[in-house]
Amino acid sequence: MNLASIRDKLTEHTPHYIGRARPVNFSVLLPLVEKEGELHVVFEVRSFHMRRQPGEVCFPGGMADEEDDHLKDTAIRETCEELGTRPEEVTDIWKIGTLFSPFGPKIHAYAGFLKREEKFTENPAEVHESFTVPLSYFLKNDPVVHYIDIEVHPREGFPYEDIANGKTYEWQTVPYEENFYYFEDKVIWGLTAQILKDFVSIIKEKHDNSL
């Protein structure tokens, strides 16, 4: 292979995530509803029959499907499937950002308003219950921050003999921030709290600048 052929291949190449050519994309929606003249954030409690993270507080969301035209559509579809809303009830959608989870998925976070007057009709296969928290609560109360360490544990058969320093190799330990919000008997933490914290920081900054 010569330089010209390498140049041609790299010119035609679409840059990707090294080590993960096709990252798994998830989309979630941070839903806002108006209750008694005040904005509330809607949360779900995952069904206790779910294989992953049963009983945890989360936002509606899930993995992108091929039929979704846009990652925003994934967030809308999942919200409708999980809370029993209709697509036309999900309005004013903004993208908050993209969260790169250390555990694999790439999560696209959106915020949107739900024009919903009656109660939600939760899908019992995925949602145990839903509840709301006044947005003002999060504007006034910062999360409690804790840290976990993500450590490397080579599996049996790892070729220590092929790397410098062998079994004494010093693997890097990565600190990872975990945020906890407490409201009544609910604990909001993990990726949900991370997205919520980022959303609150955005609107607090805008609010402070307008004073």
Q: For 104-144, write each residue's pLDDT tens digit.
A: 678 999 999 999 877 899 999 999 999 999 999 999 999 99
Chain centroid to CA 20: 19
Q: What pLDDT does residue 18 have?
A: 74
Q: What pLDDT does residue 210 have?
A: 53
Token pair of 40 as six digits: 């509330």
Token pair of 162 as six digits: 């092929």
Count of C-beta atoms within a 10 Å radius of residue 153: 6
For the segment 47-94, what is each residue's pLDDT rounded down to a tens digit? 998 888 888 999 999 888 777 778 999 999 999 999 999 999 999 999
Cα–Cα distance for residue pair 125/82, rounded to 1 Å: 9
Cα–Cα distance for residue pair 150/176, rounded to 1 Å: 7
Owner of token pair 């035209």 = 69
Cα–Cα distance for residue pair 22/119, rounded to 1 Å: 38
For the segment 28-53, what is each residue's pLDDT rounded down to a tens digit? 999 999 998 999 999 999 999 888 88
- The 3-state DSSP class for residue 197 equals helix
Cα–Cα distance for residue pair 91/110, rounded to 1 Å: 11
Q: What pLDDT does residue 66 have?
A: 72
Residues linked to residue 23 through DSSP beta bridges, in sequence order? none
Q: What pLDDT does residue 38 have?
A: 94
Cα–Cα distance for residue pair 59/177, rounded to 1 Å: 19
Is 183 buried (19+), middle (13-18) or exposed (0-12) by CB count in 10 A?
Answer: middle
Q: What pLDDT does residue 21 have?
A: 58
- The 3-state DSSP class for residue 99 equals strand
Is 14 buried (19+), middle (13-18) or exposed (0-12) by CB count in 10 A?
Answer: exposed
Please provide the distance, in angstroms rounded to a whole number, between the alpha carbons at the two ends of the chain. Answer: 63
Cα–Cα distance for residue pair 109/96, rounded to 1 Å: 5
Cα–Cα distance for residue pair 124/202, rounded to 1 Å: 33
Confidence grade of residue 208 (pLDDT, cut at 50, 70, 90)? low
